[in-house]
Structure 1
């Protein structure tokens, strides 16, 4: 088995895909959270300001989901095929949400009519909220497992995805991204809208804390396999402890109005949540409720080692370029939002 620094190629790709999807949730997550909060702003100027807060970065942030999907297809084609065929309806709704969010942002200011702007405002909020909810819904079902047969074909229906845990995970993800987005917006605004956002940050943080507690209790009580690895290796308990401290630090920094540190803590929270899921799933990528023999793992669903090795080299070149571009964009458009003739 080919290795790099003592780690096999399959595990490297598992880590790479996890890192890319984590980057997507952190970056596009605050865009989605800002969109979910959009209708809470009543004045036209306020809506334009919060829209332009994400204006320069939202489309670049979507690149990460494209990279993640491409990496999953290239590294683990069997997982890609089984996952997308099983979650066909959720992924179609996800793509529709992506499309309508984009055209809502671009079309809103093309006409001066009030009804036109209101229509796209509603579309923008609904599509952003739908995307955030579906991300959690899909993650919740991946954690529980789905009905995959021995031929890696899904043997269930769409209604099975709408189970209590997946719905709870969807609402938790929406709450997390709303908090994440509110913190980002408060860093980009000033004056009266800044004051309103300080209140929204507190409310969304309370919403998230309540949901993460409920979801965590449910996971520990009804999904014992999600704590197996940590029970086996007690030193890994430091990860959930760090996550709790990160969440606590969000509230601490909000109280002190140090929103940059709150945003960093929010990003760390997202990262640690993804790390916890990855640790408990590995080496599995897609669990089967029908039989453990049907689980899709990093070993029985990957491309050939030669393919993984070549693509790992390409990823080592391409991913830093995307990180560099993303950093450049954020540095270029840092600071408070100012409306001008080029604004949305």
Structure 2
């Protein structure tokens, strides 16, 4: 694997060049960003983030709202909050230097077993067992582990432990990630190009693409809600969502609760002549699907902001850092208004 990696390693903005020392901040940030999206999607976001907050000190001093806006579209917003909390802990408790052991890393906010292992191995050269989705797939095939996920994960990790070397554990982890990303892919794995083919029990069995076995997904519950678009002379009302809970701390369009039956105007943010648009927006979260009605109204220009609300120029709404579900709703409303004009 290491011989293959030395020739075929991907060039990534957070990855140190061969023989160079990795930057722990960049390794940590990239691992958190990559947990719910792809390298292609993360790369421009990572470059923009590190240009703005290049180290722990700058991130620790960042405004929470700016961080949340920069994180929009990268998955769970709790991860962004934990990034700031961890950066503050590194500055306050470790003199601005990332601790170098798995145990110390696990003590920081938001660093679970996987992230701590990845940073320890890649940034600090420690022997640590790193198993992301790509590595999970490679190991399940290599050892022909047929137990369905997620029950198979302890066996996969144990198997990965048996092949993780004492030296260059970080390069080994990245080699396995690259192999899973480019060769041992979910569908149509390129087994003829794989350096592990001769040792792969899944390949020997004739159907490596069937591994790992995934448990059947249950049907997600369906929820409904109303999003309110309140126009004040070219500005739209935004609210700050509570710090805890789904999309916590984010700017958003006002919305009532997301419930089992479609609500109406009862949770509108202001008294106005509300009307419902003849369009809906759907969005899938991890644990439920959401169907949204869109209500629009206008108010007089003197309507003030409050501590938890602000008026945002509609023509600059893309700078507000709205979570994806609200950005979709805003796009739908603006499209409907243009068509009606």
The answer to whether TM tops 0.5 is no
| TM bracket, shorter-chain basis | under 0.3
Point out the structure with the larger strand share.
Answer: 2
**TM-score, normalised on structure 2?**
0.27
Which structure has the higher relative contact order (CA within 8 Å, separation 6+)?
1
Structure of higher CA gyration radius? 2
